[in-house]
Structures are given as C-alpha cells and as structure tokens.
Structure 1
Amino acid sequence: MKKIIFYILFFIASAGAAFASPVMKNNTTKLNKARLDTATFATGCFWCAEAKFKQLRGVVSVSSGFSGGHTVNPTYEEVCTGTTGHAESVNILFDPKQITFDELVEVFFTDHDPTQLNRQGNDVGTQYRSAIFYHNAAQKQKAEYYIKKVNDSHAYPKPVVTQVVPFKVFYKAEGYHQNYFSRNGSAPYCKYVIQPELEKFRKVFANKLKNNK
C-alpha cells in the first residue's frame, strides 16, 4: 500500500505543473463570481469519502449523494438496489486558490482502490463504482491524464477502471447521510471501517489538513 501511495503522489505532483491553470481559465466567469469550483467523485461508500475530503484545507463543503444515473430524485434505498444507474458520490465545493483539482484527484486515487470494478471492499454493486464526473474539459483532460500516469507506473497490479464521464446532475442524499461520521462516530461501521481509514488518510495528507496550516 505504501508503494502505491508513493507512486500516485509522485506522478500527481510531478505532472501537476503541466496543468497549472486550465481550470481557472476555462471557468473564468464562473469563478470570478463565486471564487469557488466543484468536483464530483464516486469512490464507494459516500460516508467514508465525505469524512476524508472535508478534512482538507480549501474544501468549503462536501455533500453526500448520487450521480451518474437515470432515476430522478432517487432515494438511498432505490440506489442500493443497483437499478437507478447512480453511484454513491460526493459533491465537493472548493477554493481553487487553496486547493487545486489536481490535488483533489491525488486524494481521489489514494482514497479508494480504483482497480475494483463496481465494488469497494465488501460493498458490491454499480452504485459503488469508481468515477470522476467532470464539470469541464479541463477536468476531463486531467482525469484521463492522471489515470494514464497511474497505469503506466504500474502502481496497482491491475489497471484503473475509474469511469471519466460528464457531470449531469447530483442528487443530495437524505439528511441522515450528511456528516454521517461526525454524527455517528460510535456506530460500528464508523468505528471499525471509517475511523481506521480516516486515521491513515490524516497521516498521508497531514500537510493538507485544515488543522495543520
């Protein structure tokens, strides 16, 4: 695992210079108004992804929800059937002056196993697939570039299966899914699954955390 993280961080960091400004340039009008940008990722269970991404300096908010499917306003129960086409996802509002899309992609690739098709650990189904829902051409280019770099580096024994698809809509999940770990830290899933993952995450990205300015 340490080897995988090293390779991913190395290639993301070394390649970042090639994409220093496209997101800002392609969204000048939008970002001048809001000074914020959006990234939408699917990495398996959204409870774990939300808990991790909200730790990062420059991330304004993280919402858990569903994206990539055909059912309008799906419920969590409907998505769990695997018939809606949606993946459990997180919608990340961030300040590109404090954290770049490149850095978020770096976190994305170390946050889960992008070589597992339609599953993460014991969570199985298309709703747990790995996906980057790009909001503009620059995000698409970056996602595809980094996937190629990760594959070329053989950081994983199997190729990356992450989908790179255009963002269409994000449906926010029910209220009890939001800030799930923060509000349910003593629950078995949080204590034995999310907490260990979060502790490892904090060590790997210690220099990017909000409490480590």
Structure 2
Amino acid sequence: MTTRVERLAARLAPATTAVLTVECQRGVIGRDGALPELAEAVRAEGALANVAALVAAAHGVGATVVHAIAERRSDGRGANRNARLFHAAARLPVQQLTGSPMADVAEEIPVADTDLYARRLHGLSPLAGTGLDPVLRNLGCRTLVVTGVSANVAVPNAVFDAVNLGYEAVVPEDAIASVPAEYRRAMVANTLSLVATVATTGEILSCWTA
C-alpha cells in the first residue's frame, strides 16, 4: 500500500508540476506595501519563507514557477468595479501600478529567468481570463502547487479555478496566509481540503529532495 507521501510525490513530478505564487508582490506583502497587516501575517507564521523555499526547490528540480501578479493601470482602465474589494483597493495609498516596483515579486522570493508571469488588470484569479491555462498545458503541467495570499479570497479562487480546469491542486497550508490569521486554518480545514491535496512545505520539499 502506498503511503501519503508517496502519493504526494507522484502528484509532484517536476516535469508536470508548477508552483504558483499568488500576489506575492512587493505592493501586497512587502513591508512598504499597501497591506501591512497582511505583510505581517505572511511573515508571522513563516508563510513567506516557505513560499521562497518552495520556489527555490522548484528551480532546483526543474518544475515550472509562475508568479501571479495583480496590477493596475494608472488610469484604472480595465479594472473591476463590481465589488467592495475593488473599490477599497482603488483607494489604497500604495497602488500596484503596471511597471512599478509594487508590481515586482517580493524580494524574499527567488526569481529565475525561466519563471513565468500571470499579470492581470482584472478579477480575482490568476487563471481565469489570463491565458495562463493554455501556457501550462503546453508545458505539460498537470499539478498546481498554490501558495501565497490571501487565503481569504485569491488563494481559494485560484484553487477552485485549477480544479475546474482539471488540474490537481496541492496547497501547502503553511505557505499561504490570511487576515485574521486563524481564518487560514478554517479555510483549509473546511474548504480547501475538500478540493485539493493539503500538505506542508516540508512534505513537498521531501518529495523533491529524496
């Protein structure tokens, strides 16, 4: 009988796996970004360090890395206005403007020339309407390891879209963060565990270092 870790390792074959960092950008989780509470949360329990470790490991074994970046034009054209979240984001003192440092990947996360980017001006998902799905399919990806922020909205949205598109979703529960912090645990236990394989960063790293 195969063990849980063996089953996880089978899902995480580097040639068919992509690590997705969701909104791990300077303007969102950077210390000089727009959301200091979220920036603190992603550091408090080690989630940011775990995202960085997973990205570095993916680089090492040849798995695909995708950075999902939410950005905005200076004139706001193309941005959603159909939810309170979007109106609040438009009023933030720090904006994720296209081409600005706030739309760069957070400094703690290693970036390689082979990395892909899913940049969007609209919506909540790095998959829906971004063109990322056909790119991943062209690369032979079948499993998405979803990391980043936040477990309130963008991370579950990415997981649901991945599952709807036929991917195997893996969620390293200690490489995502939320505000308040305890919401992450409730989201993982009551929602994400029903549609994704929940693991720890250590378990995933062990699959790529054995």
Task: Give your verdict on TM over 0.5.
Answer: no
TM-score normalised by structure 2 residue count: 0.29
TM-score normalised by structure 1 residue count: 0.29
